Amino acid sequence: MARQEPNDRFASLEKLSTTFHVGLHTLQVRKVMEGRWTFSLDGGDVSTSTYPTQAEAWEAGVRAADRLDVAAAR
């Protein structure tokens, strides 16, 4: 009789990652678990904040990219 693999409760979660270009920056928005999204900029560390929707994570990533641009202009 074949053994069934242990059921990983997170295996069913859809792993999503979408990349956007925001000015000169690359913004990646990722689904970390059901109902939680995060982002990273330019291949850097993933934000420690999570957001309830992909749109909110995208918006936070765009704001972070804008802050980098303003800081670079000074």
Q: Does residue 10 belong to any structural domain of this protein?
A: no
Q: Does residue 47 belong to any structural domain of this protein?
A: yes
C-alpha 39/C-alpha 14 separation (Å) is 16
What predicted TM-score, i.e. pTM, was given to this entire model? Answer: 0.76
C-alpha 11/C-alpha 64 separation (Å) is 31
Q: Does residue 5 belong to any structural domain of this protein?
A: no
Tens of pLDDT, residue by residue over 20-68, are 999 899 999 999 999 999 999 999 999 999 999 999 999 999 999 999 9
Q: Does residue 34 belong to any structural domain of this protein?
A: yes
At residue 73, the pLDDT reads 87
* DSSP letter, residue 51: B
Q: In which domain, by residue range, is 64 found? A: 17-73
Q: Does residue 25 belong to any structural domain of this protein?
A: yes
Q: Is the pLDDT of residue 12 over 50?
A: no
Query: How many independent structural domains does the chain possess?
Result: 1
**What separation in angstroms does the CA of 47 have from each of 2, 3, 36, 60, 68?**
42, 39, 12, 10, 14
